[in-house]
Structure formats: C-alpha cells, structure tokens
Homo-oligomer: A and B are copies of this chain.
Amino acid sequence: MATEKILVIEDEEPIRELLKLTLESAGYSGVYMAANGENGLSLAQSRLPDLILLDLMLPGMDGLSVCRQLKSQEETRAIPIIMLTARSEESDVIIGLELGAVDYITKPFSRKILIARIRAQLRQFSDVEESNEIRRDGLMIRIDQHEVRLHGKLLDLTPSEFSILHMLVSYPGRVYTRNQIITRVKGDGYPVTERAIDVQILNLRRKLGDWAVNVDTVRGVGYRYKQESTE
C-alpha cells in the first residue's frame, strides 16, 4: 500500500471524483482534494503532500499562479507538480514547466497514464541526488568526471551533450523545454535559437545508438528521458 500523500486541485466536480477514485484504487490512501487555488495552496502548506495534481484552468486564482506560489515558498518548493490541462492550453504547459512543474497530462486522460506518471514522479525520491553517479538502463554517468559509459563503453560526448544528457537523465519522466535546456547549459539570457537544441539532441541520439529510444521528443513542448507511454 502506497503511503504517499497526493493533493488534487481541480474545480470540476466529476473530474475531481474520478481522480479521487482512480488514486484510491491505485492504493494511494492520503488523497486531499481542493476545488480552487486558494484552498489548494493552504492545503499544500498544511499537509505538505508528496505530489500535487494541479488543474491549470481554475476559477479565481488560476493554476499557473498557484504553481508560482508553490514554487516561491521554501516548504512547498520541492513538491513535484503535475499539471492537468486541456489539449489547447499548450503554451500554459510550457510556462508551467518553466516555473518548475515536472510534468503535465492532457485531459481527457486514461487512468493508466495518470497512474504511470504519478508513479514515475514519486519513484524519484528513492534514488535522488547528490551522488556522483547516475545509472539508468546500462548507462552510467560519472558527474564530476564528465564521463558517460554505455554498457561499460566510454562515450565521447561534447560538453553540451553531456550537460543535456545529465539534465534529462537526472529526472526520469520530467519534461524540459528547449528554453530550460538552453538556460541550464549556456546560462540565462544566452542568445541562441531553439533549433540549436534539436541538433544537440540529434547528435546525442546518434552517439547513444539504441539507447536513444529513451530520449523522447514531446511534441510542441520539449524533451524528456524515458516516459514509457503505457498507452
């Protein structure tokens, strides 16, 4: 039985119920519900959930504002946020990701996808951070040596390729926009076309060979490391 607490912020009653049932049947016992941004924020602060499902289209304070608030406060900053969004709100998705949300799901969604995405995010916390080594499906990254091995064989990556791969692989399932990648790799405000990232990804995929299947293109949004679609 999963013990993680999940907060759902969603105004539409039927969807809220659907989410609640889906989550509970997936074994999550600590599910909190909020029907608007204000309640969502205060619940987030009082319950400190392990994950937040946030509808972007809310009455009153909209989802992006809620996201911004959550990210601006120390206690809630680290909580992963998955956005729920209509197909048409793609530009909001990008803004949300750049604010720090980790993923998004478009409505209507299948229960399987919903659960898979949530699991992917919660799984994070087991093996996170600050180690000098990351291993993923036969790929090994030694961070301070700037060294990548695939099935033991050393890959010859350029500095940018290394950074991008490291960024993607650090948070499986998290989508990064091209702008986030540029900011991370070249610094903020670096004057550069988004196409440059495509090319870096292209070359990276070539060097990764078969393993490149783990680098997903998220159309209209950016790139991510391995979100097995389960679709």
Contact = CB atoms under 8 A, between A and B. Distances in A.
Interface of A: 144, 146, 159, 163, 185-187, 189-192
Nearest to A163: B187
A172 B189 CA distance: 23
Nearest to A162: B191
Contacts of A187: 163, 185, 187
A163 to B, nearest CB: 7
A192 B190 CA distance: 19
Contact of A191 (B159, B189, B191, B192): B159
10 contacts: A144-B189, A146-B189, A146-B191, A159-B186, A159-B190, A159-B191, A159-B192, A163-B187, A185-B187, A187-B187
A186 B163 CA distance: 11
Contacts of A192: 159
Nearest to A146: B191
Nearest to A185: B187
Contacts of A146: 189, 191
A146 B188 CA distance: 12
A157 to B, nearest CB: 11
Nearest to A184: B187
Given A159-B186, A159-B192, A187-B187, 6 more contacts: A146-B189, A146-B191, A159-B190, A159-B191, A163-B187, A185-B187
